[in-house]
A and B are shown apart, each in its own frame.
Chain A
Amino acid sequence: MNFEFSEEQLMLREQARGFLSQHCPPTLVRKVFDSEQDYDAALWQSIAEMGWTATAIPEAYGGLGLGYYELAIIAEELGRAVAPVPFSSSVYLATEALLAFGSEAQKERWLPSLATGECIATLAHAENAGQTTAKSLRTSFSDTSLNGIKKPVADGTTADIAIVTAAAGDGSVTLCLVELNQDKVSRSAIQTLDFSRGHAMLEFDNAAAEALGEGTVAWSSFEALLDRAAVLMAWEQLGLADKALEQACEYAQQRYAFGRAIGSFQAIKHKLAGMYVKNALARSNAYHGAWALSSNSDTLPLAAATARVASIQASLNAAQENIQTHGGMGFTWEFDCQFYYRRAKLLSLAIGSERHWQDRLVTALEQQKPEAA
């Protein structure tokens, strides 16, 4: 048993943190925030040049063939930096979908350009308000054409391709690969609460598409894909949560009231300690999630749901209490506290809400053998 990253992995973290503090300072986030841009193209390009988009793609497809520990580390750093890039869509979701379900030809066609970052991809799943299930899906696919509306699609304005979920009957789903730059696809930008990430509504009107791999996949296989993404998303949320806590601690030491640093009042210090505790539990669960993902453990559904729920709770709490600790200044447009607050909520809604993952968690517990509990 060893529950720590290797020396090399810890070095990667240090390198990634250094890189992002230089190339993705809060001023860059604010630049995207205040502009019409959906992401920062220069940052995306330098991230791709660092090889981050290629991390978990096998060397045979032009990737680095590293593992999910490395990807988890990068995810955490991107979360800390609130990076305005389509990384989660392209890497945790679309690349993973291709790796899991794509045919050999599809992998050879798309993975090399996903590895270099030249191609940006996303997963288009949500349709109407409320949970999207195999039953509720209205998007349909037959032969080679796709019809339906997906909304909101993260990074849908910038992506070159999308993996689109379509109803396949019998509780199955077809994962359709669609090139978005075609006449039969119309995309319109949608504003979300996080101005540093672009979202779109995608409308498919007999759009040319192909099914990933063999055609339909069982809903449980699609959920397994989300489990994998959930671990990486949890790391990104964790990075954000830790950064928000650090910011709150810093402010609590600098800001004086009643002649003392506000961080010396137990009302504040206990709040901050409470944030730390949630973050620490989320981190330990994220470690276990990374291990389960990396080792393809059959405990992945439980480990992923646990990591995801823990990170949702930690990041929302850290982001909101960071604002509270800052008092009135935290509520201003000028302060960066809002970045964490907005991104934390956005990430907590992507790939299923807290309630969804709590439910998945208990389902996994119910399926567990008693002695393994």
Chain B
Amino acid sequence: MDFNDTPEEAIFRSQAAAWMAENHLTANDKQGLNRLEVAKLWQKRKYDGGWACIGWDEKYGGRGASAIERVIWDQEENKYDVPSRFFVIGQGMIAPTIMAWSTQEYCDQFLPKLASGEEIWCQLFSEPASGSDLAALRTKAEKDGDEWVINGQKIWTSGAHYSDYGMIVTRTDPTVAKHKGLTAFLVDMKAAGVETKPIKQLTGDADFNEVYFTDVRIPDSYRLGEVGQGWQVALTTLMNERLAIGGGGAGADVPLAIKIAQTVSINDRPAIEDSAVRAKIANFHVQEAGLKYNGYRALSALSRGDLPGPENSIGKLVGAPKLQDIASFCMDLLEEHGALWGDDLEFMAGAAQRSYMGAPGLRIAGGTDEIMTNIIAERVLGLPQDPRADKGIPFNEVPTGN
């Protein structure tokens, strides 16, 4: 066990750090660009410099880096204020699915443009009637010659409004049990019949969408895996989701809580001296550090060649409620000033508030806390599944509510 860099890793780190020092985006670079344009500019710069998607094969724009090298790169890259979220789904989740389930031709066609940021992808899974019960999705795909015709509605699709392509899971056979009648495809988001409507969130932002498909035609070659194998394909994506959106992330954290507690007072003494405050901060640190080292252990397993397992669900399961709690705690320390809204407030109250408002979404997106807890109970601890009312029943005979 060694938490320090090996000599080779130290060399890699210094190369990464040197490149970042030379090439990071300056305020000048970002002048007049919106967030998406900044993200694309940064992604292209990394791609040209050989630092995009470094874990991928060189022929797709990567550099065949190891799991540990990816962590080192992430650490060095994140020492700067860099945009990334526009590409997480495409690069972190859909690209591994394309590599596993699509053709060499499409790997060659799509992956380099995913790496360079030229094309953005979205994940079309959830539907109004299938969230946690993802396999209950109803969007239809019907074969018509060498093409498939898609009809239905997706929802909560992050980034659909600026995506070029998507990965969609559809129902191709409603007469078999629900997991067996699914098929996955690539889809051109600019195709005729695709309509995207942003959803305004409680934060006021609109990061995700409803997406309607009306007689959208896609070639059979866009199919991922066999007809009826859509659930297995979706699991590849979801496995990688655990790694892509895992723990950590920006926002309210222990250093912010300490900074605030050192600045404000409780009973005319610095709040940091209050033992209840100290106990809370200690507990948050236990979670934060635990997640960090848990991530390192998962990467050790990855670098030994193990697949990301269900135990990685804990990153999001712990991280999202922790973000909510610590944000709320930071606001409490500010007393009535904790309620003030804005970005330029003293003590970074804005950061705490953004986390407080965003955290409920994180606890739901990519598998709710409850689903993640089920995954741990059933797939890690081996406990029995809940009895399922739809088990073994043809999908079109499963009871539905309103």
Contact = CB atoms under 8 A, between A and B. Distances in A.
A6 B281 CA distance: 33
B291 to A, nearest CB: 7
Contacts of A264: 383-387
Interface in B171-205: none
A201 to B, nearest CB: 30
Nearest to A260: B387
Given A294-B1, A358-B279, A310 B376 contact: no
A285 interface: yes
Contact of A3 (B278, B297, B385): B297
Given A260-B387, A272-B377, A281-B290, A290 B278 contact: no
Interface stretch (A112-120, A219-227, A361-369): A361-369
A290 B376 CA distance: 26
Interface in B1-27: 1-6, 9
A309 B296 contact: no
Contact of B314 (A280, A294, A355): A280
A343 to B, nearest CB: 21
A123 B317 CA distance: 40
Output the residue of A284, A294, A306 with the most chain B CB within 10 A.
A284
Given A264-B384, A361-B285, A290 B290 contact: no
B296 A1 contact: yes
Contacts of B377: 263, 269-270, 272-273, 276
Contacts of A359: 275, 278-279, 282
Interface string B237-257: 000000000000000001100
- Do most interface residues of chain A lie in helix, strand or loop, or is the interface mixed? helix
A182 interface: no
A215 interface: no
A4 B71 CA distance: 16
B383 A309 contact: no
Contacts of B275: 355, 359
Contacts of A3: 1, 3, 293, 296-297, 299-300
A349 interface: no
Interface string B364-397: 0000001001101110111111110000000000
Contacts of A355: 275, 279
B68 interface: yes
Interface in B266-287: 272, 275, 278-279, 281-283, 285-287
B289 interface: yes
B384 A263 contact: yes
Given A1-B3, A4-B1, A272-B377, A266 B386 contact: yes
A92 B385 CA distance: 43
B294 A281 contact: yes
Contacts of A141: none
A130 B255 CA distance: 31
A233 to B, nearest CB: 15
Contact of B373 (A270, A284, A310, A365): A270
Contacts of A288: 3, 289, 293
Contact of B6 (A1, A263, A281): A1
Contacts of B383: 249, 252-253, 261, 263-264, 268-269, 272
Nearest to B262: A366
Contacts of A148: none
A264 B384 CA distance: 5
A336 B94 CA distance: 49
A282 B290 contact: yes
B386 A287 contact: no
Nearest to B5: A1
Contacts of A306: 285-286, 289-290
B318 A277 contact: yes
Interface residues of B, number: 54
Contact of B384 (A5, A245, A261): A261
A102 B136 CA distance: 69
B278 A2 contact: no
A373 interface: yes
A306 B294 CA distance: 14
A288 B297 CA distance: 10
Nearest to B293: A284
Given A2-B300, A359-B278, A295 B376 contact: no
B255 A358 contact: no
A366 B258 contact: yes
Contact of B380 (A274, A276, A362): A276
A313 interface: yes
Contact of B381 (A6, A276, A313): A276
Contacts of A284: 289-294, 296-297
Nearest to A275: B381
A33 interface: no
A1 B279 contact: no
Contact of A281 (B286, B300, B301, B381): B286
A264 B279 CA distance: 35
A19 interface: no
A370 interface: yes
Contacts of A370: 255
B325 interface: no
Contacts of A280: 290, 294, 311, 314
A290 B1 contact: yes
B281 A362 contact: yes
A39 interface: no
B286 A309 contact: yes
B374 A5 contact: no
Contacts of A281: 286-287, 290-291, 294, 314, 318
Interface string B46-79: 0000000000000000000000100110000000
Contacts of B279: 355, 358-359
Contact of A4 (B282, B300, B374, B382): B300
A69 interface: yes
Given A260-B384, A273-B377, A281-B294, A5 B282 contact: no
17 contacts: A1-B299, A3-B1, A4-B1, A260-B387, A265-B386, A269-B383, A270-B377, A272-B377, A273-B376, A273-B377, A277-B376, A287-B1, A294-B1, A306-B289, A358-B283, A365-B258, A370-B255
Given A245-B381, A269-B374, A277-B376, 17 more contacts: A1-B9, A1-B68, A2-B2, A6-B1, A249-B382, A260-B384, A260-B387, A264-B385, A266-B374, A272-B377, A281-B314, A284-B296, A284-B297, A310-B290, A359-B279, A362-B258, A366-B272
Interface of A: 1-6, 69, 245, 249, 252-253, 260-261, 263-266, 268-270, 272-274, 276-277, 280-282, 284-285, 287-288, 290-291, 294-295, 305-306, 309-310, 313, 355, 357-359, 361-362, 365-366, 370, 373
